[in-house]
Amino acid sequence: MLNDCLIYWIHGDLETDINSQGYIGITKNLTRRLKEHSRKQNFLENRMVDVYLHGETKFCREIEKSLRPTSGVGLNKAPGGGLPPNPSGIKRSAETKQKMKENMVGFKGRKHSEETKTKMSNAVRVAHKHTEETKHRLSEIAKNRTTPNSMLGRKHSEETKAKMRAKAIARWQ
């Protein structure tokens, strides 16, 4: 697939050398990857994100490897060009496996009790209760609707387009 991957550079205002400063990364989904970076305390604080290159995965990996040939270059801990570590290849002791089973999150193979189901159902009902006035207003809006999509046949004003554009740009900065 053409241009399915991108290389990005996270750097401070005063960092201008992409070969030795900042962090170089490769991803197919920049939004998801930046959320992962934001989980690290203060990693993105006072830093900019620039998209360096769009391209095929293999080509992007080669470029990343040339920008980060060894570990410890800039903010990168590992050399570029590789894939993230895969935790499935880690050998775990029987004790660790047992602890993981005991702390397993989720309900795979399990069912909620009737009491829990009732509590969840009641919580949803309470959270979504409209006043009579709101119900009447929503009803009137629905009656006047000619199509299921309220924007069908309409256009955003230039002012609204400018606001939407500014918010989109702000999300990427």
Q: Quick: pLDDT tens for 8-18.
A: 999 988 888 98
pLDDT band of residue 87 (cuts 50, 70, 90) is: low
For residues 27 and 76, the answer to whether their CB atoms sit within 8 Å is no
Query: What residue spans of 15-131 are helical by DSSP H?
Result: 30-38, 57-67, 94-102, 114-127
Q: Cβ atoms within 10 A of the Cβ of 33, count? A: 16
pLDDT on residue 128: 67
Tell me how far apart the alpha carbons of residues 60 and 9 are, in angstroms, rounded to a whole number: 13
How do 48-55 and 5-11 pair as beta strands? Answer: antiparallel
> In whole angstroms, how large is the CA radius of gyration of the chain?
25
